[in-house]
Amino acid sequence: MSSYQSDTEIENVVRAFEACETGKDDFKHRDHLVVAVWYVQTLGREAALDRMRSGLLQFLDHHGVDQKKYSETITVFWIDKIAKKLNELGAGVSLVEKCNRIVESVDSTRA
C-alpha cells in the first residue's frame, strides 16, 4: 500500500467518507484508520468518537447495510488506540506522518 503524501489527500478520504461518496466495499480498514486519525487530531478523543460513530452509522444507512454491522466496542478500541499513538508521536509530527505511521504499524501487525 502506498503512503499518504499530503494533508489534502487525507482530508479527501475524510470528506468522501462523510459524504458517503466512498463505495461500501471501497472503505477499507486503512481508510477507517485515516478518518479516525484525522478526527482525533482535529477534534480530540471524545468528539472524534462521536463523529466516527455517527459517520459510520450514516455510512451504513446510506449503503443499505444493517446497523448491527457497527460495533461500539471496536470503534472505542480504535479511537483509544489512535489517541494513545498520537500522544506518543507528539505535536511535532505532521498529520501525514501520523497517518502513515499508524496505518503502517497496523498493517505490519495484520500481515
Residue 101 maps to a domain: yes
Per residue in 82-108, pLDDT tens? 999 999 999 899 999 999 999 998 866
Domain-located, residue 36: yes
> Is residue 39 a contact partner of residue 48, using CB atoms and an 8 Å limit?
yes
**DSSP 3-state of 59:** helix
Q: How far is CA 107 from the centre of its chain?
A: 14
Residue 13 forms part of a structural domain: yes
Angstrom distance (rounded) from CA 83 to CA 29: 17
- pLDDT tens for 23-79 read 999 999 999 999 999 999 999 999 999 999 999 999 999 999 999 999 999 999 999
Write down the pTM of the prediction: 0.92
Total number of domains constituting the chain: 1
Q: What is the pLDDT of residue 106?
A: 82
